Chain A
């Protein structure tokens, strides 16, 4: 089962390699990992998506907690949470290239997924999509036939619902 693990760490040199090294050394799987400073910049938030059965996840949580610069570890999958991921995708469109797909059709897809066009040239569009990983997959599947030149995904970030920290 997939788990979203949120790790609050001291924002200091080497902390990311401690976390990444832990996963590689112990053979834990990482589907995605995002990291950025939060608050006043003294701390960073790492959001990890991993998969494994109960005992593996229990070990992952304990091993993360054992790292000295780790302040707090939360398995968000345990309870209701909001998860989001961002996708930037560059789609090639018809202008000057009649063999390519219709620009208007691409814009329709953008609308369906409540996505946004963030860059446009005569032959390309960059589209920004936010949402669950499933939604991003669905949107990509529709865009692919038109010619996806490049893309990047952030990996999932998430927060627990309600007042729980």
Chain B
């Protein structure tokens, strides 16, 4: 059967089960868009307002569903605008396929209109990328791209398709069997000898601690993690990316660790004698000063990506494999050997942790004059019973959301953890709402971050997406201001956003509902009103201008050198 390149693109997307594409058209992408238009009943395209939004929307879709999110952009500026979205997904290991159009093959390298070296630019922010110069390679490349994006440690893959390739006829062969790439074979199962040693170490530990990250979410390993934690009654801390993989309301959960982690989590890391890292990568925001990280502990590290192991911190027992498969192996062995009964008594360890927890390090006071950001998030959590899908931007609001929203399930927390991309929240929420039309999807953001992709309100309205936006508006780039307060003697260089739009009017200009308050006693009613409204809502909360996120481990300090709030 003869098909054009554009027809092959649409057919391959449908074969992979894709139903949704986020994108923005342009000259070089016209054939592909024309074909998508013909098949719009089977493949829905969401028109964003900026290509960065398309990538973040595909990213949000992928984080919520676990499927590969798909974005489509044109050549040149379309591709360069996509770069931040690709880098965001790459740092957080999110499976995305980005199709970028390219100028026709004969023009490549001639500085043609809207030409950039897309594969060159995106090489270091994608898991892999391709330039398809021959239409006969197109179907194979697209299939490989999906396979690479979602297997092993997931990540974004870009396929660059020149305009003439999308308009050339070629014989099309449907897929036969699974994709195999001889140079790419991720490890799935953990080595049985290593598993056995891990179980022995867990059994013998007097002060064990689980430290788990985004890998648990990506591998859909939450069930296995919960089984392990409960069987051995282990304390568990999550990284920013790992929130939701273990319910925050379970007593075994001791909060997030790291720079803005809880006192109990950071103290537990500093004092444990066995640290089990699962799908986490010892990021500098987690470890603080590496030389003083978990100095009393033997470390077990389970990760699908061998490069993550012993990259920042030397580990005693590496286990390379899919987190879900490895946890199943460990749980099976624990059951088989009846480990729970032979386990060392960890009661004293729990008593110590409870003593640390009693410090109540996240304590804050809400008076009746100025709204505290923490109070808004806490109230939001209560009203939604921790069940909403939350996306954030980057800064203080992000850390407060991580600390105060009590996540119950994985794939409900969308945040740019690795790259720290401001402007991520709203478009990611769009992707999430498209994937889960009946779930509450809430963006927690700041007055700085929201302005980085606020144009996506247009997308929300165009597709009637009932995304709720909660702005914690302090008129500052709050996190940078906090660093300036602590470490630069309160010299607030360029962090005071003196002029901001009237967010309520802005929301109304787009056709959304805008709400605002600066009164603590109105926070709950505004949130209720916003959540109950059937359409897109923007809520502008005027919060305390100069509040700080505590606890805080200053960059380069050890985890047990936390700064606690003024009240503690």
B305 at the interface (CB under 8 A from A): yes
Cβ proximity bits A65-101 to B, threshold 8 Å, 1 near / 0 not: 1101111000000000000000000000000000000
Q: Is the CB of A62 within 8 A of B183?
A: no
Residue of A nearest to B183 (CB): A71
Residue of B nearest to A68 (CB): B128
Q: Is the CB of B307 within 8 A of A68?
A: no
B453 to chain A, nearest CB (A): 27
Q: Which 4 A-B residue pairs are closest in the complex by CB-CB distance?
A: A62-B307, A71-B183, A68-B128, A62-B306
A79 to B183, CA, bound (A): 24
The contact of A25 among B120, B124, B128, B307, by CB within 8 Å, is: B124
Q: Is the CB of A59 within 8 A of B181?
A: no
Taking A25-B124, A59-B311 as known contacts, 10 extra A-B pairs with beta carbons closer than 8 A to each other, sorted by chain A number, are A10-B183, A14-B119, A58-B310, A62-B306, A62-B307, A66-B306, A66-B307, A68-B181, A70-B183, A71-B182
Cβ proximity bits B117-152 to A, threshold 8 Å, 1 near / 0 not: 001100110011001000000000000000010000
A122 at the interface (CB under 8 A from B): no
Chain B residue contacts of A10, Cβ below 8 A: 183
Chain B residue contacts of A65, Cβ below 8 A: 306
Chain B residue contacts of A71, Cβ below 8 A: 182-183
Chain B residue contacts of A63, Cβ below 8 A: 307
A18 at the interface (CB under 8 A from B): yes
Cβ proximity bits B372-402 to A, threshold 8 Å, 1 near / 0 not: 0000000000000000000000000000000
Q: How many B residues touch the partner, as a band?
A: 10 to 19
Cβ proximity bits B180-203 to A, threshold 8 Å, 1 near / 0 not: 011110000000000000000000
Residue of A nearest to B144 (CB): A68
Q: Is the CB of B307 within 8 A of A69?
A: no
Residue of A nearest to B309 (CB): A62
The contact of A59 among B128, B131, B307, by CB within 8 Å, is: B307
Q: Is the CB of A21 within 8 A of B124?
A: yes
A36 at the interface (CB under 8 A from B): no
Q: Is the CB of A18 within 8 A of B123?
A: yes
Q: Is the CB of A68 within 8 A of B119?
A: no
B519 at the interface (CB under 8 A from A): no
Chain B residue contacts of A141, Cβ below 8 A: none
Residue of A nearest to B129 (CB): A14
Residue of B nearest to A70 (CB): B183
A70 to B311, CA, bound (A): 20
Q: Is the CB of A55 within 8 A of B123?
A: no
B528 at the interface (CB under 8 A from A): no
8 Å CB interface, A1-57 against B = 9-10, 13-14, 17-18, 21, 25, 55
Decide if the interface of chain B is mainly helix, strand, loop or mixed: mixed
Chain A residue contacts of B307, Cβ below 8 A: 59, 62-63, 66
B341 to chain A, nearest CB (A): 39
- Number of chain A residues whose Cβ lies closer than 8 Å to a Cβ of chain B: 19
A21 to B123, CA, bound (A): 8
B residues in contact (CB < 8 Å) with A: 119-120, 123-124, 127-128, 131, 148, 181-184, 305-307, 310-311, 314
B291 to chain A, nearest CB (A): 14
Chain A residue contacts of B123, Cβ below 8 A: 14, 17-18, 21
Residue of B nearest to A55 (CB): B310
Question: What are 23 of the A-B contact pairs (CB < 8 Å)?
Answer: A9-B183, A14-B119, A14-B123, A17-B120, A17-B123, A18-B123, A55-B314, A58-B310, A59-B307, A59-B311, A62-B307, A63-B307, A66-B305, A66-B307, A68-B127, A68-B128, A68-B148, A68-B181, A68-B184, A69-B183, A70-B183, A71-B182, A71-B183
A21 to B310, CA, bound (A): 22
A18 to B307, CA, bound (A): 16
A72 to chain B, nearest CB (A): 8
B220 to chain A, nearest CB (A): 22
A48 to chain B, nearest CB (A): 17
A5 to chain B, nearest CB (A): 15
Chain A residue contacts of B128, Cβ below 8 A: 68
A10 to B183, CA, bound (A): 8
Residue of B nearest to A64 (CB): B307
Chain A residue contacts of B131, Cβ below 8 A: 13-14
Chain A residue contacts of B306, Cβ below 8 A: 62, 65-66
Residue of B nearest to A65 (CB): B306
A26 to chain B, nearest CB (A): 10
Residue of A nearest to B320 (CB): A62
Chain A residue contacts of B120, Cβ below 8 A: 17
A69 to B127, CA, bound (A): 11
A70 to B124, CA, bound (A): 16
A110 to B150, CA, bound (A): 58
A52 to B557, CA, bound (A): 27
A5 to B182, CA, bound (A): 20
Chain B residue contacts of A66, Cβ below 8 A: 305-307
Q: Is the CB of B314 within 8 A of A68?
A: no
A66 to B183, CA, bound (A): 9
A17 to B129, CA, bound (A): 12
A21 to chain B, nearest CB (A): 6
Chain A residue contacts of B311, Cβ below 8 A: 59
Residue of B nearest to A15 (CB): B183
Chain A residue contacts of B314, Cβ below 8 A: 55
Chain B residue contacts of A21, Cβ below 8 A: 123-124
A62 to B318, CA, bound (A): 14
B281 to chain A, nearest CB (A): 13
A9 to B182, CA, bound (A): 11
Residue of B nearest to A59 (CB): B311
Chain A residue contacts of B310, Cβ below 8 A: 55, 58
